[in-house]
Chains A and B, each alone.
Chain A
């Protein structure tokens, strides 16, 4: 069969499906969230800062959302700061601590989201010292390595709870304990921030047990609205604002509160936290079915991340000899939506820093594809996608002149 015949057989036939497998990029809104938000657009439009009844209704909604969110992460209501996004919360935490301390040393990892990585890079330019901890081949930060890097002038550690690309879950509790012990022993005051945007939908979050001082969440990954985030800031932790102009959110997030989004966030967080036990079980089974299916049907692949210590919805593979963007364009044609770590979809034109950090050589990193499952995913979807993935990989390998030795993929992985 010619390549053209194979392509025609793949994309020529039936009508497009709609199989969304990019829930780590964003989730559709849960209709119950939309319903909770609805009264706060037109009906109860008031400014929570206004001293009359219309404002009071809005203020009550924000207060209730704050109390509810605090309850689920075992925090106090006054420890919840509503922001405009996960990125904003990360920036607020990192620049907020840096501005409060003035100078010092920061520890983070090589696989953080850009919302943590880029503020740290900026602070380096501003004179702060930053240590980027390496990860092992699964993308896990070594807590001992972190311990060894704590210094007298360390002001902040920022390590994500779960990785957005490869789903690896970090030993946050262990790191939290190390930092606490260090502070106790040396009298230092190292603060600990974690970006829990990807974890929020499928992991219980107890800020006390985790031992964190600052924690980021956002709405768009948990079937809530886009444009709303949360920064948990432990009582007593001092940060300086990164914006000025009003007294909302204890002066840390000036600007009229986005009431519907705040209400929507709290509702979404409540729903995912309450529903996760059952949903995680379902997703883990689907995830493992997909991983096994791909490993069985396609040669020269690597599962990125850890096989067990990963988010319930994350599947990430590197396919050798092909490029991920071309791959996802085929998927798109079938109505299957996934994302790639290829350079071609990044503004920086580099392949994913996360995939590279786990030891995948550049020539293979371009062929990385992430599938993230969600509420809508079914066994039928998974089986269909596995079948299609095998066909697409086959076609693109016929178009590609590469036939790299499988050892190339494994060469750097003996960490």
Chain B
């Protein structure tokens, strides 16, 4: 850790982007979803480990793109910010195709957040796995 990393927040209290998403969580699910409101749901993590993410998606009528991605997260600030960022990545610019969304990686989310402390990445960037499960559920329902 260098002085510069401390000064710009990338190794201590998080980058400004992380803080922005933590204090302004995007696409948070605030009301319990009605039956059939979403097309897919996925959950990862465990309360005992300290991180749980739930993701709900709506898919475009043609079944190709993600239209909405809502989430809830139990975890530290980086877990909350990372899930928020993930939801932005897959819904921005008219929505990501399911193919592309399946390839969203923790690294992509971390990069967009302006970096995270190394030891945080494997436990707090789990949103992509919840998303994959949600897409999987959507596809299995369709089949």
Contact = CB atoms under 8 A, between A and B. Distances in A.
Q: Do these two chains interact? A: yes
B24 A342 contact: no
A4 B73 CA distance: 15
A224 interface: no
A354 B68 CA distance: 42
Interface residues of A, number: 29
Interface in A370-401: 398-401
A332 B78 CA distance: 15
Interface stretch (B45-53, B92-100, B107-115, B134-142): B45-53
A400 B73 contact: yes
A118 interface: no
A329 B72 contact: no
A323 B24 contact: no
B50 A329 contact: no
B30 A402 contact: no
B77 interface: yes
B13 interface: yes
17 contacts: A3-B28, A3-B30, A4-B25, A7-B23, A323-B75, A325-B76, A326-B76, A326-B80, A329-B77, A342-B76, A343-B50, A344-B75, A344-B78, A363-B48, A366-B50, A399-B80, A404-B47
Contacts of B123: 343-344, 349
Contacts of B51: 323
A332 to B, nearest CB: 7
A351 B75 CA distance: 12
A322 B74 contact: yes
Interface of A: 2-4, 7, 11, 321-323, 325-326, 329, 332-333, 342-344, 347, 349, 351, 361-363, 366, 398-402, 404
Contacts of B73: 399-401
B72 A399 contact: yes
B120 A344 contact: yes
A233 to B, nearest CB: 37
A343 B47 CA distance: 12
| Interface bin, chain B | 20 to 34
Given A344-B76, A362-B48, A401 B22 contact: no
A392 to B, nearest CB: 12
B54 A401 contact: yes
Nearest to A347: B119
Given A4-B24, A7-B23, A344-B120, A326 B50 contact: no
Nearest to A325: B76
Contacts of A363: 46-48
Given A7-B24, A321-B74, A323-B75, A402 B50 contact: no
A311 B79 CA distance: 34
A344 B117 CA distance: 11
B50 A342 contact: yes
Contact of B74 (A11, A323, A333): A323
A326 B25 CA distance: 13
Interface in B25-68: 25, 28, 30, 43, 46-54
Given A3-B28, A402-B47, A332 B13 contact: yes
Contacts of B47: 362-363, 366, 402, 404
Nearest to A400: B74
B13 A329 contact: yes
B24 to A, nearest CB: 7
